[in-house]
């Protein structure tokens, strides 16, 4: 079953178990780059370039965010959130952000808000130790270019220990940290065959690629861990492995 559909089923169960008001309001808006990751954040981050954005949901006293290339504003009830058409990218983003906010309010998920200013670079510096503590020294296949994380991972694991794939045409075929950026659609199997561990962006839950990523890694018998705040709620509900050192 689709990952977000499973998350929706779990949210409906939680809404019943916690007796949540189905008419409770959730509001979602697209953040400016500076609101999302801070005015002092490195200009190389894709959010700063404006092609993709972070949307933020507010539910009662809690915030939850999601990274998406289809940002938009939305307001509705919990019932309406749970009824969104998850075949549409923009609604997947709204649902994911709303889910993160709801689970944050209930204390069932943390790190639902992106780090800001200098913190994204500091997050990258912490990632190699996090991955090493989980898996030891392995060959890492990264899916989804995050410049700070890639730099630190290459510094720690070396060019021979890392491969990177992405879906953004602006990145595919380019050299980043002395690595050729592979096509995340047509060359994903090559990356999986080569690596021991996958390190995938949590925004895959919004862009619709997470199901394929999980299926391919499972078929290969290899672990995959997700990074970022977008997947915080889904990871908590479905027991997916996630690392996000500095999310708030």
Q: pLDDT by residue (tens digit) across 227-244?
A: 999 999 999 999 999 998
Confidence at residue 142, expressed as pLDDT on a 0 to 100 scale: 97
Grade residue 49 by pLDDT with cuts at 50, 70 and 90: low
| Helix, strand, coil tally for the chain in percent (to 5) | 45, 20, 35
Give tens-digit pLDDT for 52-79: 899 999 999 999 999 999 999 999 999 9
- Start-end of CATH 3.40.50.11590 domains in the chain: 119-243
Average pLDDT across the chain, whole number: 93
Give tens-digit pLDDT for 102-115: 999 999 999 999 98
Q: What is the pTM of this model?
A: 0.94
Cα angle at 68 between 8 and 236, to 5 degrees?
40
Query: In 3-state terms, what secondary structure has residue 244?
Result: coil
119-243: CATH number: 3.40.50.11590
Residue whose structure tokens are 């990218």? 89
Provide the b/e sequence for 40-61 (b: ≥16 CB within 10 Å).
ebeeebbbbeeebbbbbbbbee
């Amino acid at each position: 079953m689709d990952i977000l559909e499973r998350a929706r089923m779990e949210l409906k169960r939680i809404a019943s178990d916690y007796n949540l008001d189905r008419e409770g309001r959730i509001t979602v808006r697209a953040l400016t780059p500076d609101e999302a990751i801070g005015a002092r954040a490195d200009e190389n981050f894709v959010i700063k370039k404006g092609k993709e954005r972070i949307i933020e949901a507010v539910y009662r006293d809690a915030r939850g965010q999601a990274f998406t290339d289809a940002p938009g504003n939305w307001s509705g009830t919990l019932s309406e959130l749970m009824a969104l058409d998850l075949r549409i990218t923009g609604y997947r983003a709204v649902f994911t952000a709303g889910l993160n906010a709801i689970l944050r309010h209930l204390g069932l998920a943390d790190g639902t808000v992106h780090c800001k200013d200098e913190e994204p670079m500091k997050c990258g510096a912490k990632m190699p130790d996090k991955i090493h503590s989980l898996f030891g020294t392995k060959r890492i296949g990264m899916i989804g270019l995050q410049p700070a994380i890639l730099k630190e991972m290459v510094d720690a694991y070396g060019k021979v220990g890392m491969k990177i794939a992405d879906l953004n045409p602006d990145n595919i075929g380019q050299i980043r940290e002395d690595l050729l950026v592979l096509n995340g659609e047509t060359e994903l199997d090559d990356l999986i065959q080569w690596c021991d561990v996958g390190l995938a962006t949590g925004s895959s839950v919004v862009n619709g690629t997470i199901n394929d990523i999980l299926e391919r890694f499972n078929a290969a018998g290899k672990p995959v861990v997700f990074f970022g705040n977008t997947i915080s709620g889904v990871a908590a509900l479905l027991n997916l492995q996630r690392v996000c050192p500095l999310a708030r």
